[in-house]
Amino acid sequence: MQTISLPLLTHSFPIPLSSFSPLPSPPSPFISFPAARRSNRLRASTSESASSVAVDNADSADSTAFVVRARNRIGLLQVITRVFKVLGLTIDRATVEFHGDFFVKKFFVTDSHGNKILDSDNLDRIKRALEEAIGADGRVLVASSTANRGVVVRRPGLVEELGERRAKAERMFSLMDGFLKNDPLSLQKDILHHVEYTVARSRFSFDDFEAYQALSHSVRDRLIERWHDTHIYVKRTKSKRLYFLSLEFLMGRSLSNSVINLGIQDQYAEALSQLGFEFEVLAEQEGDAALGNGGLARLSACQMDSLATLDYPAWGYGLRYEYGLFRQVIVDGFQHEQPDYWLNFGNPWEIERIHVTYEVKFYGTVEEVDMNGERHKVWIPGETVEAVAYDNPIPGYGTRNTINLRLWAAKPSNQFDLEAYNTGDYINSVVNRQRAETISNVLYPDDRSHQGKELRLKQQYFFVSASLQDIVRRFKEEHNSFDELPDKVALHLNDTHPSLSIAEIMRILVDEEHLGWNKAWDIVCKIFSFTTHTVVAGGLEKIPVDLLGSLLPRHLQILYEINFNFMEELKKRIGLDYNRLSRMSIVEEGAVKNIRMANLAIVCSHTVNGVSKLHLDTLKTRTFKDFYELWPEKFQYKTNGVTQRRWIVVSNPSLCALISKWLGTEAWIRNADLLAGLRDHVDNTDFHQEWKMVKKVNKMRLAEYIETMSGLKVSLDAMFDVQVKRIHEYKRQLLNIFGIIHRYDCLKNMDKNDRRKVVPRVCIIGGKAAPGYEIAKKIIKLCHAVAEKINNDTDIGDLLKLVFIPDYNVSVAELVIPGADLSQHLSTAGHEASGTGSMKFLMNGCLLLATTDGSTVEIIEEIGSENLFLFGAKVHEVAELREKGSTLKIPLQFARVLRMVRDGYFGYEDYFKSLCDTVEVGNDFYLLGHDFGSYVEAQAAADKAFVEPEKWIKMSILSVAGSGIFSSDRTIQEYAERTWKIDPCRCPL
């Protein structure tokens, strides 16, 4: 017998033991997990059944010993250590003894906190994972690959199929005998392979962009492996699945996020360095995926990341916009919109599924036909287009689970081309093609015209119809009865945009599957949940009945029937209160008859979600008061969150490293609650110095970007004061600009000695105005006019600078947010449903200057009001203040600033007149004048804190320490447990 001491292994992976889920036994069918790859060791000896795993907790006082007995074979050690790594365990030491062809390996391990493992359930689960990996039960084997995962396969002796089919299967599996390796040499080979065979460039001559394309395809290969395995495993376990329906997903760049979630960033960096490239330079070659507008779209992206990381079986569905929102170009201070050709250079992260297509119908008529003695409605469409699927793998962090975001692109139906060919009308064929493809061309078409409204409705139904056909098809492959649908499918409406799903699934069940109306309605009401992101009733989506009846005649009939049944039920419960019946009706009567999409979603959904505690209060008392009184049990809230993996790990690697160092673990990347541990170091001077250095590095990055973008040099000693978000009156960028004008006016009237005491500021504003939103566009122009005046004033110098960042997007946010000292969130109280921008700044140690609106209320609860700068009217005061109107007193400073703009101090006197009119006394709906005094005081408090660096750093640390609850992981877990009723389905090793 020979004993060998193995080198110290310190693999750790941030997965708490509490997140374990039992691994199911291998199934009986021929293809076990995963089908995508098989070991070439199919003919292993049956003596493998002698393999075993034992637990010994008496051998060491500070660790748990796992004793593994198995036949020796290449790669098995890597597989075992990988098991421990994925389960979040650290191997302190290990020994091995050889007994002939067998070995006994003893691993001394601790949990992610360095503690011995005592819980019997956790010990049993670890043991079971090891047994499945090494084949201790004699039924399964481990692939010999030394890649990042072990592969479980069936033994050939259990294969029931015989003859030619079995021989072909074994041949296929023997050719696919392992996974892609992640060592630098293997990565280099893969990158060069894609340079030559995917990008079609010589491996001896290719530039940064071509290197990025090859690099991305090599990463995508690894995503696809995990992606296939995840879907096969979820299908095998028959888990209930979530389908997340959203018209927007603001994904940003994928490269850095993917390699971090895969755990191979360092390997890629080393591989590229040896080839003469820098990973960071290549990552900059990627453009943003322009699939969304603002906070709702970025929230969807964060939630997809969390769904994958937490191992939930989920699909996202959306539209593949060819041109995105728009590219914002500033010319002479004015916003101009240009198409965002984000797909011009291809998208290596998507996989076109040309075989996954569905017909989507529009227009036409509805006829009644007799079927088996019953009358059925049949929709005869006037136009048909094809929906083609594009899949985007979304990897989880610290798990092999990789879920799917399926986006639909519109293509012309073949029947158009055939008809055109038969009539010789080639031009008509081209026109039909263009008309079909327009549906998925542009994000948020301008809906001020009838054509714009029709295109918007077409987009919504196109996305809904394709998604539901796909979901129903997948369900029918595995189940025989729609009675099982509520137990296997959860459909989530992300705002009202996908609400037509309700009418569409009713049409499918009643018209195509021939279920009775009552049975279909009962099923539908059990599968939908709804999250609203709107605060005021005036902002809720409505669709004109005439438009809906023309475009979707059958759906209008279904909606009328849903509403009739609801009204009859409502009369029984509340009586003939016609005012309330009118308010709650799905059909809004009036000069223009409309379908209220929010009312439809509430009536049909089993759960209605607000996105913050304050938002839910608003829904209950104002927006949906009638519905809350009818169904109080339906209403919940889950405060929005953002993913710390994108907004710290990817965007702020310096802070990420610092947090991990002082917490002594990377486990916070999966469990953001661990960030609270930073409070233990809040008074440590060494920690303060390192924190300060991280902030300085990030400010340098931002300052370089500002200089490159605008030519303006800014001082790193200044406070970087940031407001970046969609330009809107209620978000009050105008209040910020007025505050900057006031600061400038004060500086101009100071003597030089007093100016030396002023805290220097770099004020940064960014965001897009909707193309038809004239007031928002004037706010952008005012910002540039004020910047032109201030930045060229030699009396002011570096004491005050104003910068507008054009075409603000996710990638720019990843530079701006880590470099900000102060972030402004100025919405009039009661107008922001949640606000996730504040959470991103909070996670990066930026202090907040904010009104008590949306999620800020909960941020105050977590970090204390003393660690941010609050101002402005409270929610309960706003209505009363508006009633006072012209009798409201406004500060003299506000009147002076307004007069400066109105009198043309910054030029464009006539152009800014209508902008000034919106904030005059009596017309100041968003209360800029009332809040201006307290706003200036809050700015002064921020100045005072900034000149005390230790106090500022302490507040910054406490901001990060209190940000854990605002992780989207927490949000998704609450949704999964309270709303969707889905369980984690962790893809095993």
User: Can you say how many angstroms the Cα of residue 869 is from the centroid of all Cα atoms in its chain?
Assistant: 28
Among 779, 761, 760, 759, CA closest to 769: 779
Catalytic option among 37, 41, 646, 726: 726
620 has catalytic annotation: no
Helix, strand and coil percent figures for the chain, each rounded to 5: 50, 15, 35
Tell me phi and psi for residue 109, to 5 degrees: -125, 160
Contacts by residues 413-420 (CB-CB < 8 Å, ≥ 24 positions apart): 413/359, 413/384, 413/385, 413/386, 414/386, 415/384, 416/384
Residue with tokens 């006082």: 61
Report the Cα 771 to chain-centroid distance in Å.
25
104 vs 98: CA distance, rounded Å:
6
Sign for the pseudo-dihedral over CA of 862, 867, 869, 871: positive
Residue 571, classed as helix, strand or coil, is helix
Q: Which of 82, 155, 236, 533 is catalytic?
A: 533
Angstrom distances, CA of residue 655 to CA of 260, 607, 697, 863:
15, 38, 10, 19
Which residues 6+ apart lie within 8 Å of 731 measured at CB?
725, 826, 827, 832
Determine which one of 82, 217, 731, 825 is catalytic.
731
Phi and psi at 884, nearest 5°, equal -70, -30
Q: Within 10 Å of residue 572's Cβ, how many Cβ atoms?
A: 7
Cα→Cα distances 359→95, 112, 220, 415, Å: 61, 50, 29, 11
Amino acid code (one letter) for 164: E
Q: Contact at 8 Å (CB) between 834 and 639?
A: yes
Answer left, alpha or beta for residue 700, where phi above 0 means left and psi between -120 and 50 means alpha: alpha
Q: Is 144 within 8 Å of 178 (Cβ atoms)?
A: yes
Per DSSP, the residues of 65-111 read: EEEEEEE--TTHHHHHHHHHHHTT-EEEEEEEEEETTEEEEEEEEE-
Q: Find tokens 């060069």 and name the residue.
A: 192
Q: Can you tell me the distance from the alpha carbon of 100 to that of 98, in angstroms, rounded to the nearest whole number?
A: 6
Active-site position among 618, 828, 836, 979:
836
What is the sign of the dihedral through the CA atoms of 8, 12, 16 and 22? negative
**Strand 594-596, strand 542-544: pairing:** antiparallel
In what helix (H) or strand (E) does residue 786 lie, and over which residues does it extend?
helix 774-791
Count CA atoms within 13 Å of residue 417 on its CB side. 9
User: What is d(CA 93, CA 65) in angstroms, rounded to the nearest whole number?
Assistant: 10
Active-site residue (options: 596, 695, 725, 742):
725
731 is catalytic: yes
Residue 836 annotated in active site: yes
Catalytic residues, by residue number, are: 533, 725-726, 731, 836, 840
